[in-house]
Amino acid sequence: MPTHKLLLLPGDGIGPEVMAEVKKLIAWMNARGLGQFETEEGLVGGAAYDVHGVAITEATMAQAMAADAVIFGAVGGPRWNAAPYDARPEAGLLRLRKDLGLFANLRPAICYPALASSSSLKREVVDGLDIVIVRELTGGVYFGEPKTIMDLGNGQKRAIDTQVYDTYEIERIARVGFELARTRRNKLTSMDKRNVMKTGVLWHEVVNQVHAREFKDVELEHQLADAGAMQLVRWPKQFDVIVTDNLFGDVLSDVAAMLTGSLGMLPSASLGEIDAKTKKRRALYEPVHGSAPDIAGKGLANPIAMLASFAMALRYSFAMGREADLVEQAIAAALAAGLRTHDIKSEGTTAVGTTAMGSAVLQELDRLAAG
């Protein structure tokens, strides 16, 4: 059995609390002989800033480069509002994405039947929902230059962010979307703002070209990103896979999260190019929810998005689809048994904290693995 090297970066806020549940899961898998994982741990975000004055050190970056997968918690919080822009907690995450070349961010939004009533939308709108947002992650306005605030000298300042996309960046993310759609319900919806933005015009054109050249068998549709946001809350089941740019993907995936009942449910995988020689790809797995400083340290956080992110690591980095299925089934079973963290609590269910939810998932895993 191959040994897989993981770098754990718990980060800030609820990050360390939800990461603790992944550590339990890793230990369980190692003990059961279901996998052979070696872990290292590092600081990122505010946690790194407090100790080193930067959001991630060069040494931690080197560890991330050498790892088979990075498992990431969350970064940020009001404590670091005064940190310099380049050392703000989020800079650590953005550097990891950029330097590891993690251009493809997969954000599946699945509404577990047990949670259909936790969503703020009507049950019939979300029950059984299963869609994936494919977000471009290393380009667009997040990284475009110039990115600056300048003094105009007349009492005015000017802030500039640059939205920029090259053909190859759109091609490779479109391919990820089409390929994923092929393994699912074979439909891809591309979202852009070509009615206002040049990047949208190119996005639309290149997605059409990739479709015509390589993926004629996949149904392709286009929506303007604002209309797409509206359709996401009106009737999300019309979608299978959505592909969109970095900023629209950021916003749309928070919307999609609420379709599943809670932001605490959404996992994500950030993937790089497959290396032609080694057939491996760099990857980072993180929950979409962020550091939730309001509930940090209280043992209230929902560990499911973090555990499901680890399941995505099993699937996409280690070809352990069967084990990934098991983890996802164990999560569904713990929910079906009526256990809920406070973010997904509803009448007639049992409120539990982070560690109890993590242990319940492990117990279900024990049961499933034995069966």
What is the DSSP secondary-structure string of 201-253?
Answer: HHHHHHHHHHHHHH-TTSEEEEEEHHHHHHHHHH-GGG-SEEEE-HHHHHHHH
The footprint of Mg ion on residues 245-274 (CB under 5 A) is 250
Neighbours of 137 (CB within 10 A): 27
Q: Are 236 and 130 in contact (CB under 8 A)?
A: no
Q: Among ligand IPM, Mg ion, none, what binds residue 177 when CB lies within 5 to 8 Å by partner kind?
A: none
Q: State the nearest-atom distance from the C-beta of 195 to ligand IPM, in Å.
A: 24
214 binds ligand IPM (CB under 6 A): no
Pairing between β-strand 144-151 and β-strand 157-162 as defined by DSSP bridges:
antiparallel
Place of tokens 């409120």: 351
250 binds ligand IPM (CB under 6 A): yes
Q: Among ligand IPM, Mg ion, none, what binds residue 9 when CB lies within 5 to 8 Å by partner kind?
A: none
With contacts defined by CB under 5 A, name the span among 106-114, 127-135, 243-251, 335-343 that binds Mg ion.
Answer: 243-251
Closest CB to ligand IPM among 12 and 323?
Answer: 12
Closest CB to ligand IPM among 88 and 340?
Answer: 88
Kindly state the tokens that stand for 49: 């800033």
The footprint of ligand IPM on residues 269-288 (CB under 6 A) is 288
In angstroms, rounded to a whole number, what is the distance separating the alpha carbons of residues 132 and 6?
Answer: 25
Q: State the nearest-atom distance from the C-beta of 116 to ligand IPM, in Å.
A: 24
In angstroms, rounded to a whole number, what is the distance separating the alpha carbons of residues 161 and 60?
Answer: 28
Q: State the nearest-atom distance from the C-beta of 161 to ligand IPM, in Å.
A: 13
Annotated catalytic sites, by residue?
Answer: 142, 193, 226, 250, 254
Q: Which residue is nearest to Mg ion (CB)?
A: 250
Q: Between the CA atoms of 123, 354, 16 and 305, what dihedral angle is there, to the nearest 10 degrees? A: -20
Backbone angles phi, psi at 364, to 5 degrees: -65, -35
Q: Among Mg ion, ligand IPM, none, what binds residue 114 when CB lies within 5 to 8 Å by partner kind?
A: none
Which residue, 133, 36, 108, is CA-closest to 312? Answer: 108
Residue in 41, 90, 99, 161 binding ligand IPM, rule: CB under 6 A: 90
93 binds ligand IPM (CB under 6 A): yes
Write the DSSP symbol of residue 173.
H
Q: Are 259 and 239 in contact (CB under 8 A)?
A: no
Q: How many residues bind to ligand IPM according to rule CB under 6 A? A: 6
Closest CB to ligand IPM among 54 and 93?
Answer: 93
Site residues, ligand IPM (CB under 6 A): 76, 90, 93, 250, 288, 290
